[in-house]
Amino acid sequence: MEFAAKHNINLVDGARLLTEFAGLLPEKALALLKLATKGDFLTPTCPGCSIKMISRKSTGEGRAFWGCENYPRCKQTFSDATLAH
């Protein structure tokens, strides 16, 4: 909230956002929806490097996990038992 106030950003809660969204013309609402859902939301982003992680398998056990593309400089990982290879 402090950052938003400092940079003249208006914050709204989910209910107000939906109300504002519903008030748009249909073509504007569709354009906004396309923009908001553009991209890869299934691949996690490394919290340290802000880049998409890559799917990997551990060498010993073959365990699936997400690893930062900047390894070995960044060693951030996320376990994912459902990760498909």
What's the CA gap between 78 and 29, in Å, rounded? Answer: 34
What's the CA gap between 23 and 19, in Å, rounded? Answer: 6
Q: What is the pLDDT of residues 3-37, one digit of tens each?
A: 999 999 999 998 998 898 889 999 998 898 888 88
Helix (H) or strand (E) holding 28: helix 26-36
Predicted confidence band of residue 69 (pLDDT cuts 50, 70, 90):
very high
Q: How far is CA 13 from CA 17, 36, 39, 71, in A?
A: 6, 16, 23, 37
pLDDT for 84: 47
56, 67 Cβ separation under 8 angstroms: yes
Which has the closest alpha carbon to 58: 83, 33, 24, 26?
A: 83
pLDDT for 81: 54
| pLDDT of 82 higher than 80 | no
